[in-house]
Amino acid sequence: MQVIDFTGVRVANSSFVNALVSGLFEQHGEAIPQKLVFRGCLPPIQSLVDAAVALGLTKHGERARP
């Protein structure tokens, strides 16, 4: 299990979180949630992480389509 720990992070922007998170989900799809844990996310950070995950999964789905 891999951990991305946002403890102490009070501010981030969507570009940073997208760059950190969405590519993983774009490449690996639904397999990532069993291998990755996000910790210490304040609500604004959690919203950015959720959006980045959704973006990555959307892109993963688009790549899988013929």
Q: How many CB atoms lie within 10 A of CB 57?
A: 18
pLDDT tens per residue across span 16-26: 999 999 999 99
Would the CA dihedral through 38, 10, 13, 50 be positive or negative?
Answer: positive
Domain count, the chain: 1
pTM (two decimals): 0.87
Domain membership of residue 57 as a residue range? 2-64
Rounded distance between C-alpha atoms, residue 32 and residue 50, angstroms: 14
pLDDT tens per residue across span 23-59: 999 999 888 878 899 999 999 999 999 999 999 999 9
